[in-house]
């Protein structure tokens, strides 16, 4: 079953475990879970249901996320582990081969990104009305890449949340 990337991001914003599973190797499991719960098993209708979801259905999706997370936990599957392992392997690579390429690219990209934002904000760079939508999309993509750079160097908010949760458990035990 194929679900459009935009809908996967929508699902991830409401139901993070399902969203992460849909975007990773557990996409088939998550897709079938959604099909079973939302359409009685008809995988061809899942995308339409998600695309036309009302606020009440979004609340239901949030509940389904908790149910899916419990089901994955019973199977001893951590859908977020691959994402964490990916960042971990990238950081390990810098230990063995050096971080200079990543440092240079991060600095150049960040300077370019903020220079572009500054130029647009001060009116130094004028955008023609017929390409405004293209520029809006480009700024969105560039902003997303900037977030990835920050996540690479400083970790993701999910990792921070997990660390906070682990620290609170340690504090409670002591």
pLDDT, one tens digit per residue, over 109-119 is 999 999 999 99
Count the domains in the chain.
Answer: 2
Q: Which one is predicted more confidently, 169 or 74?
A: 74
Place of tokens 């695309």: 51
pLDDT at position 18 is 87
* 161/95 same-domain check: yes
Residue 128 is predicted with a pLDDT of 92
Q: Are residues 86 and 169 in the same domain?
A: yes
Provide the pLDDT for residue 109.
95
Higher pLDDT, 161 or 88: 88
pLDDT attached to residue 1: 57
pTM for the model: 0.48
What integer pLDDT is reported at residue 131 of this predicted model?
A: 92
Give the chain as a 3 state SS string: CCCCHHHHHHHHHHCHHHHHHHCCCCHHHHHHHHHHHHHCCCHHHHHHHHHCCCHHHHHHHHHHHHHHHHHHHHCCCCCCHHHHHHHHHHHHHHHHHCCHHHHHHHHHHHHHHHHHHHHHHHCCCCCCHHHHHHHHHHHHHHHHHHHHHHHHHHCCHHHHHHHHHHHHHHHHHC
Which among 21, 51, 74 is the end of a domain? 74
Give the CA angle between residues 158, 164, 170 to the nearest 5°.
140
Is pLDDT above 90 for 173? no
- Tokens for 83? 């994402």
Residues 85 and 113 in one domain: yes
Q: Identify the weakest region by mean pLDDT among 1-5, 52-56, 160-164.
A: 160-164
- Same domain for 89 and 68: no
Is the Cβ–Cβ distance between 127 and 120 less than 8 Å?
yes
Residue 137 φ then ψ, to 5°: -65, -40
Looking at the structure, tell me whether residues 91 and 167 fall in a common domain.
yes
Give the tens place of pLDDT for each residue, 120-148: 999 999 999 999 988 988 998 899 889 88
Check whether residue 96 and residue 122 sit in a common domain.
yes
pLDDT winner (highest mean) among 3-7, 34-38, 48-52: 34-38
| Average pLDDT score, the chain | 81
Q: Residue 105 belongs to what domain range?
A: 81-173
Flag whether pLDDT at 70 surpasses 60: yes
């Amino acid at each position: 079953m194929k679900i459009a990337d935009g809908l996967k991001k929508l699902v991830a914003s409401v139901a993070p475990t399902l969203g992460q599973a849909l975007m990773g190797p557990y996409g088939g499991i998550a897709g079938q879970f959604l099909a079973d719960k939302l359409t009685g098993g008809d995988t061809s209708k899942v995308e339409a249901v998600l695309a036309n979801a009302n606020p009440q259905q979004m609340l239901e999706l949030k509940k389904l996320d908790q149910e899916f997370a419990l089901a994955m936990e019973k199977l001893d599957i951590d859908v977020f582990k691959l994402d964490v392992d990916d960042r971990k392997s990238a950081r390990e690579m810098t230990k063995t081969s050096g971080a200079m390429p990543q440092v240079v690219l991060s600095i150049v990209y960040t300077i370019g990104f903020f220079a572009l934002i500054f130029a647009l904000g001060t009116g130094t760079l004028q955008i023609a009305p017929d390409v405004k939508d293209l520029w809006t999309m480009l700024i969105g993509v560039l902003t997303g890449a900037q977030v990835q750079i920050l996540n690479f160097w400083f970790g993701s908010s999910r990792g921070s949340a997990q660390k906070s949760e682990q620290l609170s458990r340690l504090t409670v035990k002591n």
